[in-house]
Amino acid sequence: MKPEGRAVVVGSLGVIGRYIVDRLRQDESWSTVGLSRREAADAPRYRHIAVDLLNRQDVEAKLAALTDVTHIFYAAFQAAPGAASGYASNIAPNRDMLINAVTAIAQSSKMLRRVVLVTGTKYYGTHLGPFKTPARESDPRHMPPNYYFDQIDWLTAFQRGRAWDWVELRPQTLIGFAPGTPMSILPAIAVYAAVSKELGLPLRFPGKPGAYAALYQVTESAHFANAALWAATEPRCGLEAFNITNGDYFRWKNLWPRLADVFEMPAGEPQAISLTQHMADKGGLWRAMVETYRLEPYDYGQLVGWPFADYVFGTDWDVMSNVTKSRQFGFHDVVDTEDMFCRLLRRFREARIVP
C-alpha cells in the first residue's frame, strides 16, 4: 500500500514522540521520519534522522530532502536544570528548536498540510500554583515567561497566509512505558517502590499532605498518540487548541494502596520527603539490586528524574482540564487512570526494570 500520509515526528525518542511513531507505524497509510539528537534504527515505513535541532545549518542540511512531508508532529523538549516547576521558563532552546524544524520542513515540502504542536497544561500555570479549574482552552494565559507562549506566537505568525494549518494539544503529565526517559512519574514510582521494599519499608506517599488529597489528572502516552493522529486528520481541528487527558481525575490517596499492591508491599502513611535528596545516595543499592534480581542494566541516574517526581508529588492544588471541546470535535477515547497506573507498573516488573 502506498503511504498517503508522510509524517515527521520531531522528538521521536521521547515519552511522547515514540508513541506517536508507534501509532503511525500501525497504520499502513503512513510513512514516518523521526528526528532526535540520538541515533536510532530505521524500521518498516520509518526512517530516523539524528539531528541537532539547535543547529540551524545541521537542520537545513539534513531535512532538505524531505520534500513530500504532509504532517509534522512536534514533540521535542529540552529541560532546564533545577526544579521541574521552572522548566516552562527555558525559552530560547524550546522556541528555537521549533523554529528550525518547522521552517526547514515547510521550505522543503510544498505538500505540508498540518503541524501538530504538543504543549501542555503549564499553559494555564499548573506549575505555579492554584489556577482556575477545570481549565478551558479559552482561559487567559498566566504571567510569562512560558516557552509555550513563544512557540504558539511564533507558529501563529509563521503560518499566517500559508496553505497549511496547525493545531495545539495540551496534555497533562504524560504516562508511558519508556524506560530511559526520566521525565516521567512512572519510573519514579517504580524505582521508589522497589527501593522502599528492599529497605523493608512500606510504600509511603512522599509528597505534600495536600497533594495526597488533591484532584489530579494524567494523560497516557498511547492515548495521546491516538489524539495526535485524530488532530492531524480531522479537518475541523485546524487552528484550534485542545486539552487532551485520560478524561478522568483521581486522588493519590485513593490510588496509592493499589500501587502498593502492584509491588506486593503494604502502603504506609504519607511522609513528605524530597526524593531528589533522599534517593541521591541509592545508586549503590540500585546497582546491587540490578545484580541480585537480574534486572535490565539501566543506569540509575538516567532511569528517573527525581526533581520531576518531587514536582508532581508536591502539587497540592487541584489539576483539572476540561476536555469537552475535544469531545465536541469528535475525539471520544477515554482511559481509566487507576487501572492504567497498575497496568503499566506491572509492565515495569514484567520487563525486569524493577524487581
pLDDT in tens, the chain (355 residues): 345 799 999 999 988 999 999 999 999 999 999 999 999 999 999 999 999 999 999 999 999 999 999 999 999 998 776 665 566 678 999 999 999 999 999 999 999 999 999 999 999 999 999 999 999 999 999 999 999 999 999 999 999 999 999 999 999 999 998 887 778 899 999 999 999 999 999 999 999 999 999 999 999 999 999 999 999 999 999 999 999 999 999 999 999 999 999 999 999 999 999 999 999 999 999 999 999 999 999 999 889 999 999 999 999 999 999 999 999 999 999 999 999 999 999 999 999 999 9
Which pLDDT does position 2 carry in this prediction?
A: 45
- For 32, 64, 70, 74, 149, the CA distances from 108, given in Å and listed in that order, are 16, 6, 11, 17, 26
- Look at the chain and report how many structural domains it folds into: 2
Are residue 139 and residue 211 in the same domain, yes or no? no
Are residue 156 and residue 183 in the same domain, yes or no? no
Which pLDDT does position 302 carry in this prediction?
A: 86
Is residue 183 included in any domain, yes or no? yes
Q: Give Dmax over CA atoms of the chain in angstroms.
A: 63
Is residue 128 included in any domain, yes or no? yes
For 74-123, give the DSSP string. Answer: E------SS-GGGGGG-HHHHHHHHHHHHHHHHHH-TT--EEEEE--GGG
Are residue 234 and residue 281 in the same domain, yes or no? no
Is residue 271 included in any domain, yes or no? yes
Are residue 20 and residue 53 in the same domain, yes or no? yes
Specify the 3-state DSSP secondary structure of 257.
helix
Q: Which residues of 175-206 are buried (b: 16+ CB within 10 A; e: fewer)?
A: bbbbbebbbbbbbbbbbbbbbbbbeeeebbbb
Are residue 156 and residue 197 in the same domain, yes or no? no
Is residue 355 included in any domain, yes or no? no
Are residue 82 and residue 117 in the same domain, yes or no? yes
Per the structure, the complete domain to which residue 137 belongs is given by: 5-174+219-243
- Cα dihedral 248→272→299→21 (10° resolution): 10
Grid coordinates belonging to 59: 537542520
- Cα dihedral 100→105→108→111 (10° resolution): -150
Are residue 117 and residue 28 in the same domain, yes or no? yes
Is residue 318 included in any domain, yes or no? yes
H-state helical runs in 234-305:
252-262, 275-278, 283-293, 300-303
* Chain-centroid distance, C-alpha 38: 18
Cβ–Cβ under 8 Å, residues 242 and 231: yes
Which pLDDT does position 62 carry in this prediction?
A: 97
Which pLDDT does position 290 carry in this prediction?
A: 97
CATH code for position 341: 3.40.50.720
